[in-house]
Amino acid sequence: VVEAWCRKEFGNLAAAREAGVKAPRPIAFEKNILVMEFIGAGGSPAPTLSQVGLEGLEDPDEVFWEVLRNVERAYALAGLVHADLSEFNILYNGDIVIIDWGSAVKRGHPKAEEYLVRDLGNVVRFFGAPLDPIRVAKIVISRASAKAEEDEEGWLIVGGKALYEELA
C-alpha cells in the first residue's frame, strides 16, 4: 500500500510539474521512498504558509492569486485535484510551492468536485478572501473544458479572460 502511494505521489508530482504547477520536481522512487527536489535554503526547508502567516507575506493578495492560478493549472492541464490543499501544504520562500500530492485525484474521480471545493475553501479561509469556494470551483471546472491560451504570467486565458478576471 505504501509503495503504491509513493508511486501515485511521484506520478501526481510529475503531472503537476508538466502542467506548470509550482510543485517539487520528483526525482525517483523505490518501494516507500520518494526522492524529490529540496525546497529551502541552507539545509532548512522552506516554511509553510501556516508558519509564515499572512503578516509574513509581502503581498498576500498576490500569493492568493498565485495559489488559485496553480489550482486551475492542476485541474485544467494535469487533470488533478490536490484533495488536501491548505496553508499546511504550501511552502513559501518568496514564491509558493505546493507539496503533498499523494492524496490528489483525477478530475474524473467521483469526489473530485467535492475535494476541489474543500481545497478552495481552505485557501479562501486562510487568505480571508471574499469569494465563495463553490462558485470558484464551478468556474474552474467550466473553464477546464474550454480551449485555453496562456499569457506571459502563466494564467490560462479562456474566452479572453484569466480566472481572476472571471471572479472579479
Which residues are part of the catalytic machinery? 84, 100
Q: Which helix (H) or strand (E) is 141 found in, with range?
A: helix 133-144
Region at 71 (left for phi over 0; alpha for psi -120 to 50; beta for the rest): alpha
Q: 155 near 162, Cβ under 8 Å? A: yes
Distance CA 121, CA 118 (A): 5
Residue corresponding to grid cell 509550482: 22
**DSSP letter string, 22-79:** --PPEEEEETTEEEE---EETTEEPPBHHHH-GGG-S-HHHHHHHHHHHHHHIIIII-
